[in-house]
Amino acid sequence: MPQTLSIATPGRGLIEITSDLKDLAREAGVKNGAAHIFVQHTSASLLIQENADPDVGKDLLAFFDRIAPEGGAYAHDAEGPDDMPAHIKSALTATSLTVPVSDGKLMLGTWQGIYLFEHRRAPHRRRVIVTFNRED
């Protein structure tokens, strides 16, 4: 059965949701299988990225701002100057991830964390849907 995480974002940035996902896996009692994670938005995305050095997040934000800057000549600007760049950033990343689960744990590498990547400047409430496929 799908579970929903409701994530309040402070605006543009990376919000680590790894611990929330670990809690859901534990509550679901999944021993072995896979976690499928999906964000229900077109201006936010999901990433697996380094969680040890916060400079990684800063550099990612700066990179995406360079390739999809605000103030570009976009036709879609009904929701403000950060809207179309947010859609581009979402298109270049992922709206869903699959992570193996083994012995009840998400099989992430030592320095990996799962992030909701908020691409809009204003705070939002984002919905992340999580389902578990069981092999046990």
Region for 71 from its dihedrals, namely left if φ exceeds 0, alpha if ψ lies in -120 to 50, beta otherwise? left
- The burial class, CB within 10 Å (0-12 / 13-18 / 19+), for 37 is buried
pLDDT at 77: 87
Domains of the chain, start order: 3-134 (2.60.120.460)
> pLDDT truncated to tens, each residue of the chain (136 aa)?
899 999 999 999 999 999 999 999 999 999 999 999 999 999 999 999 999 999 999 999 999 999 999 988 999 988 999 999 999 999 999 999 999 999 999 999 999 999 999 999 999 999 999 999 998 6
User: Residue 109 — φ and ψ, nearest 5°?
Assistant: -70, 170
* Strand 33-39, strand 96-102: pairing: antiparallel
